[in-house]
Amino acid sequence: MSQKSLETILENAHPVMPVLVVDALKDALPLAQTLAQCGITVLEITLRTECALKAIGQIKNTFPELIVGAGTYTKSDQMAAIIDTGADFVVSPGIHPNLLKLAQQHGLPILPGVMTPSDILLAIEHDLNILKLFPAQNAGGINYLKDLQAPFPTIAFCPTGGINSKNYLDYVELDNVICVGGSWVAPASWIRGQRWSKIAKEANLLIK
């Protein structure tokens, strides 16, 4: 298992960490290969499909240089299976003390989702200083992140939710944004349709 810190992982993800939904296991390796060839080094595979865990395992076995996160970590009983995949970190849509403690006990970097100042305070109590703002656009977007800068000057964010090719640069230019997460680079419909050239074109457009 990778011993990289979350800060190192997300610095490698800058500017964009693709957030991916893999519906069919046969698509996992071509997807990973396509993104890797475009210079993408950090991926999040969401645990929203039956094959997601196997997809992470296959990608880590075939492309060990890729840094792969298990997203949609919402229940404690997911942890054992996540560890078995060789995932490098976990991402949660929200924040809960039990999920934080379990990840920390296993030495697995966790990027928890926050939306309110109270969420951020909970993260700080658990010695976390890099957080996922979710859903970023609906939470207040750019202006909200600017408002969070003064009371939380040591916190960096990975905004996710509502980020797209038209607005991601506005986010990554903020001092308290380490990278953004987004599905527009490889939407689920493109993955299902095996539109690798289209995904490659979108990935190559990213300002690295």
- Which residues are tagged catalytic? 44, 132
| Nearest CA-CA partner of 92 in 171, 160, 2, 25 | 160
Dmax over CA atoms of the chain, in Å, equals 46
User: Chain-centre distance of CA 11, in angstroms?
Assistant: 12
Q: Which two tokens stand for residue 183?
A: 């599905």
- Spatial contact of 91 and 72, defined as CB atoms under 8 Å apart: yes
What is the layout of strands, in order, in the sheet containing 180-182? Answer: 110-111, 89-91, 67-71, 42-46, 16-20, 180-182
CA distance 197 to 192: 13
User: What single letter denotes the amino acid at residue 54?
Assistant: K
Q: Cβ neighbours of residue 166 under 8 Å, at least 6 residues apart?
A: none
| Torsion angle, alpha carbons of 48, 52, 56, 61, to 10 | 180
